[in-house]
């Protein structure tokens, strides 16, 4: 009886882990970000279009202006890059984070300019 109970619990745990891994995340839509970095704070608007794991979109902020983005979404992990020109210098901003429902959070790398953290909320 004890073995049967342990086997049943193992099956439930295994099925639960498969369900958690196969949770599909779709970030398509408009997101409002808050950025905390060595350069200061910012509140860009990011519009994502997701097709499978492929991510494209548009980034709009006071610091960077308007820029396109490309990236991936794998499971709950999101990564995207924005290439922009700031005062005649080409810059690349790399975002890496996790998506949890209508929110995301992670880190930002801006090369020589340093890095920071970000949070994002899906615009309703």
Taking only the tens place, the pLDDT of each residue in 29-64 is 999 999 999 878 999 999 999 999 999 999 999 888
Domain encompassing residue 56: 24-122
Structure tokens at 17: 């882990």
Domain for residue 102, yes or no? yes
Domain for residue 51, yes or no? yes
Per-residue pLDDT of the chain (124 residues; tens, 9 = 90+): 555 544 445 544 444 444 445 568 999 999 999 999 987 899 999 999 999 999 999 999 988 899 999 999 999 999 999 998 878 888 899 999 999 999 999 999 988 888 999 999 999 8
* Residue 82 phi, psi (nearest 5): -120, 125
Nearest in space to 26 (alpha carbons), one of 73, 91, 67: 73
CATH, residue 112: 2.40.128.120
Instruction: Give the count of domains, the chain.
Output: 1
């Amino acid at each position: 009886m004890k073995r049967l109970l342990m086997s049943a619990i193992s099956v439930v745990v295994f099925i639960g882990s498969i369900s958690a891994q196969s949770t599909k995340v779709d970030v398509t839509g408009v997101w409002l970000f808050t950025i905390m970095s060595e350069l200061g704070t910012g509140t860009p608007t990011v519009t994502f279009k997701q097709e499978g794991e492929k991510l494209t979109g548009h980034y709009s902020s006071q610091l960077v202006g308007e820029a396109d983005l490309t990236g991936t979404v794998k499971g709950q992990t999101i990564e995207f890059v924005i290439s922009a020109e700031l005062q005649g210098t080409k810059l690349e901003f790399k975002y890496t984070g996790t998506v949890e429902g209508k929110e995301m959070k992670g880190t930002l790398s801006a090369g020589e300019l340093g890095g920071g953290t970000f949070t994002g909320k899906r615009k309703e």
